[in-house]
Chains A and B, each alone.
Chain A
Amino acid sequence: MRVTIRLFARLRDLAGAGELVRDVPEQATVQTVWNALKTEMPSLVAYEGTMSVAVNAEYSRMAAAVHDGDEVAFLPPVSGG
């Protein structure tokens, strides 16, 4: 199945793209998507302990299941206001 990965702020800069489309195995979780991404782009690992994740524009958790067509976002610590 196929998911869209969204990256923001410095994560986007490190990856060189804000939107990536990747094939992931059935039964994948957000963690599965992240593991594949950090293997592809090791510099992203620095955010593992501080980022948040979202699925289809709702805050989510690494253990959450993802489905075909989902949008999975990885968010660095926020700095709005």
Chain B
Amino acid sequence: MALVAVSAKRLDSGALTAELMAGAPGDGAVATFTGLVRNHNQGRKVRFLEYEAYEPLAVRALRRIVDEARASWPEVRLGLHHRIGRLEIGEASIIIVVVSPHRADAFAACRYAIERVKQIVPIWKREHFEGGEIWLEGATADPDDEEARQTAQRIACA
């Protein structure tokens, strides 16, 4: 199983965790983040989401996040899978699994990774809500924006 992936398939954090743990026997911590489709957003009742990606660049951006995290926390191993296509309420849109000798690095690297996903990975969500639909737009993606990267690092270590 690839440690980073963008795919329309249902996400499986158990399988990703097993894959990471197989490569790090004896480690003491696993931190997992699962992002779910919420039923409400900014006062709107959400019906479902549609995710779109620029896939080759999205995979590269995910790999970059893994490399960045390992530069800050050298002992961690990360897996990041993002789902695309139509997702219903309660379904997982992203899973991030971090295996590490100790919990502090696992939590920090996991938080760092999701913050960076929201900054630099070319994926977009279209929200279908009761009464309409809208493309959500967050950050202007710039992986070389060191200020943004440091913001993610600060949040991770807070």
Known contacts A57-B57, A58-B60; is-contact A81 B139 (Cβ 8 Å): no
CB-CB contacts below 8 Å: A46-64 with B: 50-52, 54, 57-59
Known contacts A50-B140, A59-B142, A76-B124; is-contact A10 B135 (Cβ 8 Å): yes
Chain A interface, DSSP helix/strand/loop, else mixed: mixed
Is B90's CB within 8 Å of the partner chain A?
no
Name B54's contact: one of A13, A73, A81 (CB within 8 Å).
Answer: A73
CB-CB contacts below 8 Å: A26-81 with B: 50-52, 54, 57-59, 73, 75-81
Residue in chain A with minimal CB distance to B125: A79
Interface string of B43-69 (1 = CB under 8 A from A): 000000001111011101000000000
- Check if B94 sits within 8 Å of A52, measured CB to CB: no
Chain B residues with a Cβ closer than 8 Å to the other chain, count: 33
Contact partners of A50 in chain B: CB under 8 A: 137, 140
A72 to B22, CA, bound (A): 39
Instruction: Offer 30 A-B interface pairs, CB within 8 angstroms, sorted by A.
Output: A6-B54, A8-B54, A8-B122, A8-B124, A10-B137, A50-B137, A52-B141, A52-B142, A57-B57, A58-B57, A59-B57, A75-B54, A75-B122, A77-B139, A77-B140, A78-B122, A78-B124, A78-B141, A79-B118, A79-B138, A80-B82, A80-B118, A80-B122, A80-B123, A80-B124, A80-B125, A81-B93, A81-B94, A81-B114, A81-B123
